[in-house]
Chain A
Amino acid sequence: MSWTDQLCVRSVLCMALATRTDRRPSFARTVWDSTVGKKTVMAVSGLIMLLYLVVHMIGNLKIFFGAGEFDHYAHWLRTVGEPFMHYEWTLWLVRVVLVAAVVAHAVSAYQLSRRDIRARPGKYAHRKARASYATRTMRWGGIILGLFIVWHILDLTTGTVHPGFRHGHPYRNVVDTFSTWYGNVVYIVAMLALGLHVRHGFWSAAQTLGVGSRTRDRALKTLANVLALLLTVGFIAVPVAVMTGVVS
């Protein structure tokens, strides 16, 4: 018997504690049922999407090197990993992971937000706006991003909402989208929302995962700002280039 167990035998409290310990549910259950755990799901899924977005943004910049290079890059995405992977296998693998991340992120966000609103039903008569700024921008920004993701796929992947969409000609399709005023507005608003979301989200994720600390705080905040700015500017560069005729 270890010395802690010996102490336990003498302590009623500890025996109660021991019984509690025996009934612990699985790791997955513990995570999903806890506010702290569910926030971890948000952080991990958020970081997966963030990683993808950085790669996606860099890929998009190929549009500045002409239709040949851009369309070739789009085709290459379907052949990544060959000959080990079959045509489009890698692409579908990435898609499955991303859909899982989006769903996990959105479901956790919804459940946590519901809980938060229930926990604080009454408003103070004396209002202070600052209190919920970050929370509000995360929720509204998240909803905007969710809607944008759906629209974006229907516009440039499936072409469902894109009149004159041509499969296998992404350069043409992109120029097409950004030649309409609503295409530009939807895209630019969503990218500004993305910047705000990443700015608070990246730093938050570090706190949720317990890697933040007093000495690292400034570096993490700077990194969050740099990432947010880079993503927003990098993504918005494409519609701006089409609008100004740099890309046509």
Chain B
Amino acid sequence: MKLTLRVWRQRNADADGTMSTYEVDGISPDMSFLEMLDTLNEELIVKGEDPVAFDHDCREGICGACSLVINGDAHGPERTTTCQLHMRSFKDGDTIDVEPWRASAFPVIKDLVVDRSAFDRIIQAGGYITAPTGAAPEAHATPVPKPDADLAFEHAECIGCGACVAACPNGAAMLFTSAKINHLNVLPQGAPERETRVLDMVEQMDEEGFGGCTLAGECATACPKGIPLMSITSMNKEWLRAARKVKR
């Protein structure tokens, strides 16, 4: 396959960026999108040019490091992560636009790499349990009803990639934050901090400069892990309950 790429190039956080055009040839439909970018970078290095910076780690769809808005879609046209997106989703001769996540809370560091540490600070505000855990406990010690376990697992699937923020017209982090809150709030292990968790994580989310939810639903469409939009509804419910309940 021969492709034309229009890639966002930005020297550093303070520089202005632009879309630069590159041609790549000899792309196999079985390559992943990141392997296609590797091919481009090898050529750039041979030519003595600066390779395109992009985030990646596991390359098997579980770490959440890869990003990229491809032709206007976070993680591209399929419901998966960019590392699991294959070039067979494109046609020979296509022009593909590759851009970084865009949100004030995710500033560009270089080219396609953005700073997602805002997510870390949201987790630090309450995305954990305070019970000392030690070694893995006996599985039957704390009974968890099957529907609750399934619900917790559905939310625990969030890999913190930030595609929800990138897709949201308001740069909101509601889907990520709700997934993290609901994951722990439905389990008995998360119960002691049920109220403080939701209040503190939402407060941190606001402090980071993310937007608010207008229920456009773009986040859930973009999410490679299928976190449902209703996750936000559950978070709102938890938040209202906690705001009324927490003693002052």
Chain A: residues with CB nearer than 8 A to chain B? Answer: 4, 7-8, 10-11, 13-14, 17, 20-21, 24-27, 30-31, 33-40, 112, 115-128, 130-135, 138, 200, 203-204, 206-214, 217
Would you call A214 and B192 a contact (CB within 8 A)?
A: no
Set of chain A residues within 8 Å of B51, measured between Cβ atoms: none
Question: How many Å lie between the Cα of A127 and that of B102 in the bound state?
Answer: 13
Q: Which of A31, A33, A115, A134 is B212 in contact with, Cβ under 8 Å?
A: A115
Would you call A214 and B230 a contact (CB within 8 A)?
A: yes
- Interface 1/0 per residue, B223-239 and A, CB below 8 Å: 00000111011111111
Question: How many Å lie between the Cα of A127 and that of B69 in the bound state?
Answer: 11
Would you call B240 and A210 a contact (CB within 8 A)?
A: yes
Would you call A26 and B102 a contact (CB within 8 A)?
A: no
Interface residues on B, range: 35 or more
Q: Assuming the A-B contacts A7-B130, A34-B202, are A119 and B99 also in contact, with contact meaning beta carbons closer than 8 angstroms in the complex?
A: no
Is B104 located at the chain interface by the 8 A CB criterion?
Answer: yes
Would you call A20 and B196 a contact (CB within 8 A)?
A: yes
Q: Assuming the A-B contacts A7-B131, A132-B169, are A127 and B72 also in contact, with contact meaning beta carbons closer than 8 angstroms in the complex?
A: yes
Chain B: residues with CB nearer than 8 A to chain A? Answer: 6, 8, 19, 69, 71-73, 97, 99, 102-105, 126, 128, 130-132, 167-172, 192-193, 196, 199-200, 202-203, 205-206, 209-218, 228-230, 232-241, 243-244, 246-248
Question: How many Å lie between the Cα of A27 and that of B23 in the bound state?
Answer: 57
Q: Which of B99, B132, B217, B228 is A11 in contact with, Cβ under 8 Å?
A: B132
Question: How many Å lie between the Cα of A10 and that of B132 in the bound state?
Answer: 8
Q: Assuming the A-B contacts A119-B172, A210-B236, are A125 and B215 also in contact, with contact meaning beta carbons closer than 8 angstroms in the complex?
A: no
Q: Which of B99, B105, B215, B246 is A124 in contact with, Cβ under 8 Å?
A: B99
Would you call B212 and A116 a contact (CB within 8 A)?
A: yes
B192, B233, B238, B244, most chain A CB atoms within 10 A? B233
Q: List 20 A-B contacts (CB under 8 A).
A: A7-B192, A8-B130, A13-B128, A21-B196, A21-B246, A24-B199, A25-B248, A26-B248, A35-B202, A35-B205, A35-B206, A36-B202, A40-B236, A119-B210, A120-B169, A125-B8, A130-B218, A133-B216, A210-B233, A212-B230
Set of chain B residues within 8 Å of A206, measured between Cβ atoms: 233
Set of chain A residues within 8 Å of B210, measured between Cβ atoms: 119
Q: Which of A33, A40, A124 is B102 in contact with, Cβ under 8 Å?
A: A124
Q: Chain B residue with minimal CB distance to A40?
A: B240
Q: Assuming the A-B contacts A118-B209, A209-B240, A210-B237, are A138 and B72 also in contact, with contact meaning beta carbons closer than 8 angstroms in the complex?
A: no
Q: Assuming the A-B contacts A34-B203, A125-B19, A128-B73, are A115 and B132 also in contact, with contact meaning beta carbons closer than 8 angstroms in the complex?
A: no
Q: Which of B171, B196, B200 is A120 in contact with, Cβ under 8 Å?
A: B171
Set of chain A residues within 8 Å of B169, measured between Cβ atoms: 116, 120, 131-132, 135
Question: How many Å lie between the Cα of A163 and that of B150 in the bound state?
Answer: 66
Would you call A124 and B170 a contact (CB within 8 A)?
A: no
A34, A123, A127, most chain B CB atoms within 10 A? A34
Q: Which of A8, A30, A128, A209 is B199 in contact with, Cβ under 8 Å?
A: A30
Would you call B230 and A213 a contact (CB within 8 A)?
A: yes
